[in-house]
Each structure stands twice: as structure tokens, then as C-alpha cells.
Structure 1
Amino acid sequence: MNELAAKRGAGTATKDALFLVFRIGTERYALQAVEVVEVLPRLQLKPIPQAPSWVAGVFAHRGAVVPVLDLSALTFGEPAQERTSTRLVLVHYRPQAAEPARLLGLILEQATDTLRCNPQDFKAYGLDNRNAPYLGPVYEDAQGLLQWVRVEDLLDAEVRALLFPSPPLDPALLGESP
């Protein structure tokens, strides 16, 4: 095998993936970049009455109304800090493989870095955190531990039904009386 072929083979042997790194307080977290649609500055949102406090609201994006979660409020009960590095990150949300992906917005603090690594380098951290099933395995590097946030596990069935009713509500029926 020649040198060029050996380099090509070595490059495909590792299945590195790109992750968007962000913080919640002082802790580091990551989303797999293939789940990210777009990174936007923090925008004004329309609140949703009677929604959980970590549902920050909705906004219109290219003709679609997109619900937005504050990941800091969901995880630790404190809303994300208003920083210049706080972003509204649009992700593909698909709780079931057979369902079409929906847009979901996430408010993330310090969402300005990326990491390329092999997803198999993330390791289980030994806790069964049933209250936060979206918090996945951890990755250790020179800065400490980084935890993988799994988008498909962010919403339980009740909140999913609130934000993504199935079938979608028909606006024409909202004006009708029984």
C-alpha cells in the first residue's frame, strides 16, 4: 500500500464527529453538530402561558413557529444569563426515528466553541439520572468533563404534546363554538 492510501485509510478509521460546546453556569456541555440547524443571536420570544418555566416561548422563523427551551432553566432551574455569547440554537428534534424532524430552539450560554472527537470517547458517568434523561455520557479533556446533551430526549410526552400537538391544531377550528 502506498503512503497516500495509508493516510486515507487512517483518516477514515476514526469516526470523529463535530460537537457544539456550550456552558450552563461553569459546566460544559455539547450537542452533536449534525443536530444543529442554525445558530442565531438571542431573540425576543413570545411567552407560552401555563408552560413549564423552562419553556422560554416561541418565535417565527421562515414561516414556522418554533418553540424554544432554556436549557439552563431545564437543567438547574436558573434561566440562562444574558450574555453576548448566549445563543438561540435551532436543532432537529425527533423523539422517534419514524417521525419527521421538527425545529426546536435552545437557549444556550457561551455557545461559541466546537470540539471534534470520536463519540465513543464519551463514557457513562455512573448515575441513573431519570429526571434528566437528555444528559448523556461525559468526555474528559484538558479542561475537565464535558457532557453530551441528547436532543431527542429533551422533552417528556406531556411537554412534547404541548409544544408539538399531534395532529397539529387547525387554526380554522379555533373560532368555531361547540
Structure 2
Amino acid sequence: MLMLLFYVGDDRYALDSRRVVEVVPIVTLKKFHSAPEYIPGLFNYRGHLVPVIDLCQMIQGTPARAYLSTRIVLVNCQLPDTSEANSHSLHSPLILGLMAERVTETLDKPETEFVSPGIKVDTIPYLGEMIADDRGMIQFVRVEHLLPESQTTYLLPQQEE
């Protein structure tokens, strides 16, 4: 699997490159005041408003630093439909922006090399399996589990009645 690597502090993380739409430089975001701290705002991407999640803020509690290599990774994310009528279906794909530091490299490794970290924390379901290389450990980020159900209302288009 080809993965896009990024850093949160000194720790490395990976995204499945099949979900990546585009990697763009940091842009000015429109603050969304009622959103959680890890959603710093929205920006216009090719005519669509795209919410941005700061992965540094989400994972370690501090905002991404303004490095030249800090980027917004646009990913396709399919959020679960939490309405009672559609409890087992998915919303149509949504593009999310993921702000991360040091987005400069990829890594291609077989999925069979990933191992479970041995610890499951229910409050961080987006952190998945791990893989090692000659520079240390890399943790996989599961895009579809980034947001708790209670937060998806910030990101989904409102249905007209």
C-alpha cells in the first residue's frame, strides 16, 4: 500500500494514498466559530467549502506549526449515516482537508506488514495499526474514523425538508 507520511511533533503517521485527492499549501481559513478546536476553519476548494481538521491539534493538542512543509491533504472521507432510518448506510463521500506538518514523502509497504499496537483506546478510533521502518514506527490514520458521530453535523450538508 502506498502511504502519504506526515508528522505530529516528532511522531510519524500515514494516510492511505488511495484516499488522497490533492495536497495543497496552507491557505487562509474562514473560522467556523462553533466547531471544535481541531477544526480551524473552512476554505474554498474548486467551488466547494471544505472543512479542515488540524491533525496536530487533534492528536497531540497543539496546532500545526507553520513550516514550509505544512500542508492541507485533501482526502475522500465517507462518514456513516447516523440517522435511525439509515443506521447501516454511508453518506456520499465528502472531501475533508487534513492539516499536517512535514508532508514530504511517501512509503510503499505491503498491508501484511502492519501490526496492531496491542492497545485499543475507544476515544481515538482513528489511530490504527503500526509499521516499522529503519527510522522507527509509523502509525496509520483511519480517515473514516477521524470524527465522532457528534461532530459530523459540522461537516455534512444540511438536508432540505
Q: Does TM-score exceed 0.5, indicating one fold?
A: yes
1:60 is matched with which residue? 44
1:78 is matched with which residue? 62
C-alpha displacement at 1:165, in angstroms? 4.2
**For this pair of structures, how many residues does the alignment match?**
153
Of 115, 119, 140, the residue aligned with 2:107 is 115
Relative distance call for 1:158 and 1:98 in structure 2 (3 A) is closer
1:133 is matched with which residue? 125
| Letter in structure 1 aligned against 2:37 | S
| 1:2-24 deviations in Å (ceiling 9; x for gaps) | xxxxxxxxxxxxxxx11000000
Relative distance call for 1:155 and 1:134 in structure 2 (3 A) is same
Larger radius of gyration: 1
| Letter in structure 2 aligned against 1:68 | V
TM-score, length basis structure 1 = 0.82
Q: Distance in 2 between matches of 1:76 and 1:85?
A: 19
Q: Distance in 1 between matches of 2:145 and 2:154?
A: 16
2:83 is matched with which residue? none
Q: Report whether the alignment pairs 1:50 with 2:70.
A: no
1:35 is matched with which residue? 19
Q: CA RMSD, aligned part only?
A: 1.4
| 1:100-146 deviations in Å (ceiling 9; x for gaps) | 21100010100110000111211000111111110000001111100
| 1:37-71 deviations in Å (ceiling 9; x for gaps) | 00000110001012110001000111110000000
**Runs of 4+ deviating beyond 2 Å:** 95-99
Structure number having the greater helix percentage: 1
| Letter in structure 1 aligned against 2:60 | F
Q: Distance in 1 between matches of 2:26 and 2:112?
A: 32
> Which structure 1 segments of 5+ residues have no match?
1-16, 174-178
Secondary structure at the aligned position of 2:40 is classed as strand
| Letter in structure 2 aligned against 1:88 | I
| Letter in structure 2 aligned against 1:43 | V
Secondary structure at the aligned position of 1:136 is classed as strand
Of 149, 155, 170, the residue aligned with 2:147 is 155
> Which structure 2 segments of 5+ residues have no match?
81-88
C-alpha displacement at 1:149, in angstroms? 0.3
